[in-house]
Chains A and B, each alone.
Chain A
Amino acid sequence: DAGVIQSPRHEVTEMGQEVTLRCKPISGHNSLFWYRQTMMRGLELLIYFNNNVPIDDSGMPEDRFSAKMPNASFSTLKIQPSEPRDSAVYFCASSFVAADTQYFGPGTRLTVL
């Protein structure tokens, strides 16, 4: 099994630009989670999907952030426009069912200049 796949692994962009992060969950997993990790705030859950449906997006910081899951094998997290305070490592994780061990992708390190 390839595990959770994320792309890109690193992204450097300028303030105001649109950023799209991508995630492919483990095949057969029904739940997908987007997290953000920073030194100051630790690990934060942004949004989670169950069977491709967003269940809880209360962690999405503001309207500049949006996430979609058009099918069971693909999800995107978009930031538009990006700001320097969005700089962080963004992780995608998936699990077989919602209440189960989550398997994390390698993360995308985002730097907004």
Chain B
Amino acid sequence: ELKVEQNPLFLSMQEGKNYTIYCNYSTTSDRLYWYRQDPGKSLESLFVLLSNGAVKQEGRLMASLDTKARLSTLHITAAVHDLSATYFCAVDGSNYQLIWGAGTKLIIKP
């Protein structure tokens, strides 16, 4: 059974700091997704990573994928308050369903 684990599940940090969220998955998967959810809002797609060594960047967020280690990271550079949200990773499971991590709630304090 494919499992996806995120850590940490909760992160409180100061503006201007750097931090990394980790996403581990248990079996081989073709692609990995990162989503963002603001409180009370829907989920928004951030990145899709398709191959080993893939790196994508959008503003202060950078995602990478290591398929051999079954690990993806979401790195936040010089965090700002607007990045406060819950971040989910997900991987393709059987039957083309997405298997979701539990989410990382990120709070960035001014």
A interface vs B, CB < 8 Å? 31, 33, 42-43, 45, 48, 50, 55-56, 91, 93, 98-99, 101-107
Q: Which residues of A contact B30 (CB under 8 A)?
A: 99
Interface positions, chain B 44-89, Cβ under 8 Å from A, are 44-45, 48, 88
6 cross-chain pairs, A with B, having the tightest CB-CB distances, nearest first: A98-B96, A104-B43, A99-B96, A104-B42, A101-B45, A43-B100
| B5, CB-defined interface residue at 8 Å | no
CB distance from A4 to the nearest CB of B (A): 9
Considering only CB atoms, which chain A residue lies closest to B94 in the complex? A56
Q: How far is the CB of A86 from chain B (nearest CB, A)?
A: 19
Q: List 18 additional A-B contacts (Cβ < 8 Å) besides A55-B96, A93-B43, A99-B92.
A: A42-B103, A43-B88, A43-B103, A48-B95, A48-B97, A55-B95, A56-B97, A98-B95, A98-B96, A99-B96, A101-B33, A101-B45, A102-B33, A103-B45, A104-B42, A104-B43, A106-B41, A106-B42
Q: A107 to B96, Cβ gap below 8 A?
A: no
**Within the assembled complex, what's the spacing in Å between the Cα atoms of A106 and B48?**
21
Within 8 A of A (CB), among B13-54: 30-31, 33, 41-45, 48
Question: How many A-B residue contacts, CB cutoff 8 Å?
Answer: 41
Determine if B102 is an interface residue (Cβ-Cβ < 8 Å).
yes
Least Cβ distance of B10 to chain A in Å? 13
How far apart are the CA atoms of A98 and B31 in the complex, in Å? 13
| B2 interfacial contact with A, CB 8 Å | no
Are B98 and A102 in contact, CB atoms less than 8 angstroms apart? yes
A–B complex contacts, Cβ < 8 Å, 19 sampled: A33-B97, A42-B100, A42-B102, A43-B100, A48-B95, A50-B96, A55-B95, A55-B96, A93-B43, A98-B96, A99-B31, A99-B96, A101-B45, A101-B48, A102-B33, A102-B98, A104-B42, A104-B43, A106-B42
User: Is there contact, CB below 8 Å, between B43 and A91?
Assistant: yes
Q: Which residues of A contact B41 (CB under 8 A)?
A: 106
**Shortest beta-carbon distance, A109 to chain B, in Å?**
9
Closest residue of chain A to B31, judged by CB?
A99
